[in-house]
Structure 1
Amino acid sequence: MQSPCVVDTVIFDLGNVLIQWNPRHLFTKIFGDDEAAMEHFLSEVCNAEWNEQQDRGRPWKEAIADAVARHPAHESNIRAYFDRWEEMIPGEIEGTVKILEQLRDLNVRLLALTNWSAETFHIAEARFPFLKWFEGIVVSGRERLIQPDPAIFNLIIERYHLRPEATAFIDDSVRNVEAAERAEMRGVHFRGPDELRAQLRAMGFSLPEGS
């Protein structure tokens, strides 16, 4: 019986794995106690599908113009989505960053693959020094490809000459994890740093039991 392949490369998603991201961090300030109005705005005006188009490479100028044309009464809030975008990322997820640091200390090959607008990613790069720990980061908005499209997984495999069966992919999105598994990577659904640590230890990484 052939022994399982040893994992030597770990690919991290960034948003809500290493970096907190949620538009509500911004819009609770704008809408105050009117949670219903905020949720209506985020589901009907600047919703996930609209935002994903920027992650796929649509320019923010075009996105804002489109949303304002459809919802002129919300123009100021639509513009805030981009102008105050940094307020949506209040900080890092400390437990996961610690795991990343420990993997780096073990000389594990580290890459990142993220659905993120090319026009806002520089903000994260300036704020979070640990992004420099990665050998490379594939940003969907720069490539004009977005997860779970198989093409973006093929791109990172080919660009970095990966062996998929020896590569773990970590993401909080089940659909992205399943897409990575279809590309023959080992998918890891992120539900929190403690569970991630246990999952990586089970793969054979010599991480300490605690944080």
Structure 2
Amino acid sequence: MESYRVLRGRVNSIGFQPDECLIPFLELAGFGSAALIRSFDLRYDLISALVERWHSETHTFHLPCGECTITLEDVAVQLGLPIDGNAVTGISSISRPATLCYELLGRSPSEGKFASLRLSWLKANFEYLPSTANEREVMQAVRTYIMHLIGGVLMKESNGSTVHLMHLPLLSNLHNTRSYSWGSVVLAMLYRELCRTTDPSAVDIGGCLILLQS
């Protein structure tokens, strides 16, 4: 009898809670419900069983009782993310990443070229908001928390604990951030990961696994 393949993932929680003063701005940006996610127990045996029943041709799970799938409505109801609006797109290669980070986050992990931010760096530098923080620093902390949500829960990569820098420019104006269909890209990435991991050689899985499991 062949051994059953159990996939693995890297990050399975946000790691820290946002300061209460950030909540109204997280709601403004469309991430208020997602910010309520604290920690969760992922069952990789269950997730692996779902992957075994995923058909890439139809994007559905084939179960004894029939076919089913995860829909945009599930994303909206369970995560509270916007599912209408502009497509979430970005530049894969940012020419001056340090300048962008200083402008929107107030600090940068490097002065050289880089394409992503480590979640551990975000947590170490922004977990605690000073009581004397001004409006600019609060906005920087909000952007940081959204980036941490994206990389740690909503669109996490299977091969590391980082978040791509391409999402950061979309957070420059929080009033406009909500106009993007974040729910659509979360679902699209989960579909992509489900299709990728149907390959028997795959050993890990990314995407919004809390949505997949629930």
TM score, norm. by length of structure 1: 0.27
The structure in which a higher percent of residues are helix is 1
TM score, norm. by length of structure 2: 0.27
